[in-house]
A and B are shown apart, each in its own frame.
Chain A
Amino acid sequence: MKKLSPAYLGLALAASTSLAPAAASAEQLRVGLSALATSVDPHFHRAGYNFDLRENISDALVYANGVTGNVEPRLAQSWEIQGDTKWVITLEPTAKFDSGEPLGADDVVYSLCRVRNVPNSPGLFSSFISTIGSITDAGDGRIEIATKKPDPNLLRNLSFIGIVENPTGRTLTYDETDCGNDNWLATGDFNSGKTSAGIGHYRVKKFTPDVEIELERNPDYYGTPAGYETVVVKSLPDNSARIAALLGGSVDVINAVPINSLESIQSSGSHHLASMPSTLVVFLLPDQGQEPTPKVSGTDGKNPFLDPRVRKALNLAINRDEIAETVMGGMALPASQVVVDGVFGHDPSLQPYPYDPAEAKRLLAEAGYPNGFSLTLNAPSDRYINGAQVAQAITAMLSQIGLNVTLETFPFSIYFTKASAYEYSLYLAGAAADTGEGLSQMINLAGTRNPEKGWGGANRGRYSSEITDKALEDAQGTLDDAKREELLRSAVAQVQKDDGYVPLYHEFGVWGVRNGVHYDANANLTNIFYTARPE
């Protein structure tokens, strides 16, 4: 672009009105995202938008594919399990860091040690490596990982940890504190570009927090090279601004397409949608942990949700097809259970509850509430796609079975603080399978809440069943896939039998894409830039 001296600015102003947006080059992909990574440091903050960037710039040992559900080799070329707790992993021999140094066992040990040693991190990745007891260099480009107990999901957990180059010049001895090292790579140096984020399809050229990230293809990548030469990722948190940027041609791809814009993208003739059901399940959770319960009245101090018949009535009162079709514009899959179809642990024999308000009313009467009771439903106003509208629809549906329901919404920033303080009686929330399989999701949602053990982190309604816990516990220590899936399915079925949850639907991940660009939808809602290509 021509540079102008101030004298010509007026002229430029006049001329600019006829300036069309620059046409996209075939070599560059421009992406607009609703939230941008907060750091280039692969170990800095455990949050979805940081997983995005990390997956594109800093390979982990393996990749948990959000399209197929499989675990694929990355920096680990192959692996084998010896006994119950010993994993021998062969590293990719052709992988090289930006410095030209080949990947070594010491880099893996250093990276896993650093996970616990990122100063001022607002959320460490350390629970992904909590089962690891030791990591040692087994020679010949192999490492040996010993877990403290059998851990079937070790590799999936390791798929979150980007491997960075070891700067210490020695191989650290792995332990669960600081591995005997006191000088760790600084987050700021990753952001400024002084330290490379590791070995990835792309390298970060420029990182401007909350504004823009520029990536360029890594020409020395050991695997299939990325489709585009450069990628520019822009922060576009506002829905209408994101849509306008796509339709106006200033970006090629956007994520999180709002429901009310699906039509304008499809009918534009120049853009298409890429979508896929995500692992995120949106559910209602009734309070099963206290009596009386704070937001119910007209029950003489009793908590009606302690009665399984009342919980079943909730399940029957909701017309899931209607919500998916009407409120969600077809961009949701009615849920029969917590784990979505296609994810390990899903029980295909379970069907979504039928919509049966008459039976729901009968169950309420049987439980001793023929005239219903008063209830406040809580929902976040800005967390899930159309979440507030879904909550309104549910309020109406619950009124149909004779409950006197008031809806109360809070912004995300305070919603979960209140939920964790057990201030709700019935609340709407969602939880995804971060690791791409059902065990972690089930432990997080259906395990008896126990912070020390790391169970039931999202189970703020305190559903608890010994049978479910036992099945999940057993699954945690079962390496055999078929047996583990069996256990997981029994846990899923038990939750439904107990009516512990009111699963509503699985949100679709929806991307808007300019014609001429191939972009993969992803069940984990991760944005993979390296599989995008011109077409």
Chain B
Amino acid sequence: MFSFVLQRLVQSVIVVLILSIVLFVGVRLIGNPVDILISSEASEADRLAAIVALGLDKPLWEQYLTFLGNAVRGDWGTSFVYKEPVVGILLQRLPASLELGLVAFVLAVSISIPAGLYAGLRPQSPLGRGIMAFSLVGISIPTFWQGMLLIVAFGIALPILPVGDRGQLATHFGITSSLWTLDGWSHVIMPAFSLALLKMSLLMRVTRAATMEICRLDFVKFAYAKGVRNRKVVIGHILRNALVPLVTVTGIELGNLLAYGVITETVFSWPGLGKLLINSIKVLDRPMIVAQLTYTALLFIAINFLVDILHMAIDPRVKSVLRRRES
């Protein structure tokens, strides 16, 4: 177990290092931020001053090493555009993204797993078919499109929900969030549903497929034959086995929800990280882009790690494989 964790950690560090190099070089290939930031009427002297001010006059390797040295000490650089520490701006935006991502995640999981389980147990029933039809629609409609439909329907035609922004904030238990207020919930629910729809549909299909597969296996038939109560078979045997693939998919989806709500955040002008990323790319704010994508990578690595641990808890076979490898 310990060596597994250690191995994972070393791997993660290497991945992050490689990623930072790729990002650093890649972001420089997109274009020169000075051309965007400086006024077209500015003089050559102003232009050179801007290049020096942004540290772009130094060779690339020197810029990278400076960045790396500072990053290790927790300083991720200063935004070109806002001249504020990147970490500060990210932390300002993180709560909004977390709120949206978590609400969407809870919505997706709490609806899709029971629904998928039902559809898998009763594939021929009208409700089972209905669930499948819904998930097909959910998967097929592009996120930006259903987002706009939701806005038009509930924000403009039938104005019951506000459009854009986080709504009112409040602080409880040291956490400032819009989820403490009614107004905040009225703001978050529409974008969260829009963001959750695709994941929800996907998870329904995965749950249904896993359930149907497991239902056919011998131990399920045996349990039924033994006279185990239906409820216990479904929860203790079918669901538990179906969870193995589900946890993997859910983990990745959680990462996606937390880091890549770009489209939803743009359509609903939600002040989170996704919107920040798009705006940073538009103006080539290099430190912002690098910091944000590195954060995303770290997030995914952490989630994958958790998924592996969860696998061990759910499926004893994983643990024994590891033990065999260690001995």
| Residue on A nearest B55 in the bound complex, by CB | A120
**Within the assembled complex, what's the spacing in Å between the Cα atoms of A240 and B155?**
13
Q: Is A416 a contact of B42 with CB atoms below 8 Å?
A: no
Which chain A residues lie closer than 8 Å to B179 at the CB level?
Answer: 9
Chain A residues with Cβ below 8 Å from B160 are 17-20
A208 interfacial contact with B, CB 8 Å: yes
Nearest residue in B to A451 (C-beta to C-beta)? Answer: B44
Chain B residues numbered 43-71 whose CB sits less than 8 Å from any CB in chain A: 43-47, 49-50, 53-54
**Contact assessment for A123 and B163 in the assembled complex, using a CB-CB cutoff below 8 Å:** no
Q: For the complex formed, measure the closest distance between the CB of B273 and the CB atoms of chain A, giving whole angstroms.
A: 11
A4 on the B face (CB < 8 A): yes
Which residues on A sit within 8 Å (CB–CB) of B151?
240, 244, 248
Residues of B within 8 A of A18 (CB): 160
Looking at the assembled complex, report how far the CB atom of A477 sits from the nearest CB atom of chain B, in whole angstroms.
18
**A19 pairs with B183, CB closer than 8 A:** yes
Q: Is the Cβ of A13 less than 8 Å from the Cβ of B185?
A: yes
Are the CB atoms of A120 and B271 closer together than 8 Å?
A: no
Residue of B nearest to A232 (CB): B165
Instruction: Judge whether B155 and A244 touch: CB under 8 Å.
Output: yes
Q: For residue A44, which residue of chain B has the nearest CB?
A: B83
Q: What's the minimum C-beta distance from A244 to chain B, rounded to whole angstroms?
A: 5
Interface status of A191 (Cβ within 8 A of chain B): yes
**Which of A124-132, A135-143, A221-229, A296-304 contacts its partner?**
A124-132
B89 interface residue (CB < 8 Å to A): yes
Complex CA–CA separation, A13 to B183 (angstroms): 10
Q: How far is the CB of B199 from chain A (nearest CB, A)?
A: 19
Chain A's closest residue to B47 (CB) is A451
Report whether A17 and B46 are in contact in the complex, using a CB–CB cutoff of 8 Å: no
A45 to B46, CA, bound (A): 11
**A38 and B42 in contact, given A1-B182, A120-B54, A244-B155 (Cβ under 8 angstroms):** no
Q: Which residue of B lies closest to A15 (CB)?
A: B182
- Asked whether, in the complex, the Cβ of A123 is within 8 Å of the Cβ of B40, the reply is no
Set of chain A residues within 8 Å of B275, measured between Cβ atoms:
210, 237
Is A431 part of the binding interface, using a Cβ–Cβ cutoff of 8 Å?
Answer: yes
Task: Report how far A210 CA is from B183 CA in the complex, Å.
Answer: 22
Q: How far is the CB of B168 from chain A (nearest CB, A)?
A: 5
A16 CB–B CB distance under 8 Å = yes
Q: Is the CB–CB distance between B46 and A124 below 8 Å?
A: yes
Contacts of B32 in A (CB 8 A): 417
Q: In whole angstroms, what is the CA distance A280 to B284 when docked?
A: 24
Q: Is the CB of B44 within 8 A of A454?
A: yes
Across-interface contacts of B31 in A (CB, < 8 A):
413-414, 417
A contact residues, range: 35 or more
A241-B164, A412-B36 given; A127·B42 CB < 8 A: yes
Complex alpha-carbon distance, A17 and B182, angstroms? 10
CA distance in complex: A209, B84 (Å)? 9
> Which chain A residues lie closer than 8 Å to B43 at the CB level?
126-127, 130, 451, 454, 457
Interface residues of B in 212-270 (CB under 8 A from A): 266-269
Q: Which of B83, B93, B181 contacts A188 (CB 8 A)?
A: B83
Chain B positions within 8 Å of A245 at CB level: 163-164, 269
Which residues of A sit under 8 angstroms from B152, Cβ to Cβ? Answer: 244
- Nearest-neighbour CB distance to chain B for A63, whole angstroms, equals 19
- By the criterion CB–CB under 8 Å, are A420 and B35 in contact? yes
Please, how many angstroms separate the alpha-carbon atoms of A452 and B182 in the complex?
A: 59
> A123 and B38: CB pair below 8 A?
yes
Q: Among the listed A17, A39, A127, A249, which residue makes an inter-chain contact with B189, where contact means beta carbons less than 8 Å apart?
A: A17
A249 pairs with B170, CB closer than 8 A: no
Task: Given A1-B182, A20-B159, A240-B267, verify A123-B30 contact (CB < 8 Å).
Answer: no
Q: From residue B310, how far is it (CB to closest CB) to chain A in Å?
A: 25
The stretch among B12-20, B74-82, B131-139 that forms the contact with chain A is B74-82
Residue in A12, A32, A121 whose beta carbon sits within 8 Å of that of B50 in the complex: A121
- Please name the residue on chain A nearest to B80 by beta carbon: A122
Given A119-B53, A209-B84, A238-B267, the answer on whether A3 and B181 have CB atoms closer than 8 Å is: yes
B307: Cβ under 8 A from any A Cβ: no
Bound complex: CA A248 to CA B161 (Å) = 9
**Residues of the B chain whose Cβ atoms lie less than 8 Å from the Cβ of A46:** 38-39, 42, 46
Known: A1-B182, A250-B164. A457 touches B282 (CB 8 A): no
Within 8 A of B (CB), among A43-74: 44-47
Residues of A within 8 A of B125 (CB): none
Q: Please give, as numbers and ranges, the residues of chain A lying within 8 Å of B123 by CB-CB distance.
A: none
A116 and B61 CA atoms in complex are apart in Å by: 30
Check: B37 CB closer than 8 A to any chain A CB. yes
- Measured CB to CB, the closest approach of chain A to B279, in angstroms, equals 6
Query: Once the chains are docked, how many angstroms separate the CA of A38 from the CA of B180?
Result: 30
- Of residues 265 to 311 in B, which have CB atoms within 8 Å of A's CB atoms? 266-269, 271, 275-276, 278-279, 281-284
Partner of A417, one of B35, B78, B170: B35
**A244, B156: Cβ atoms closer than 8 Å:** yes
Per-position contact with A for B4-30: 1 when CB-CB < 8 Å, else 0?
000000000000000000000000001
The answer to the question of A5 belonging to the interface, with a C-beta cut-off of 8 Å to chain B, is yes
A187 to B92, CA, bound (A): 18
| A212: Cβ under 8 A from any B Cβ | yes
Given known contacts A4-B180, A20-B160, A120-B83, is B78 in contact with A413 (CB within 8 Å)? no
Q: Is the CB of A413 within 8 A of B283?
A: yes
Give the residues in chain A near B183, CB-CB below 8 Å: 1, 19, 22
Contacts known (A13-B189, A241-B269, A250-B164); A187 close to B30, Cβ less than 8 A: no
Tell me how far the C-beta of A336 lies from the nearest C-beta in chain B, rounded to whole angstroms: 22
Asked if B324 is an interface residue, CB under 8 A from chain A, the answer is no
Within 8 Å CB of B170, what residues of A?
A: 3
By a CB distance below 8 angstroms, the chain A residues around B146 are none
A169 interfacial by beta-carbon distance below 8 Å:
no
Sort A-B residue pairs by CB-CB distance and give the 6 closest, nearest first: A451-B44, A248-B163, A414-B31, A454-B43, A16-B186, A122-B37
Sample 21 A-B pairs with CB under 8 A, ordered by A number: A21-B163, A46-B42, A121-B49, A187-B83, A188-B84, A191-B82, A191-B84, A209-B82, A210-B82, A210-B276, A211-B93, A235-B271, A236-B269, A237-B279, A241-B268, A412-B36, A420-B35, A434-B41, A452-B44, A457-B40, A457-B42
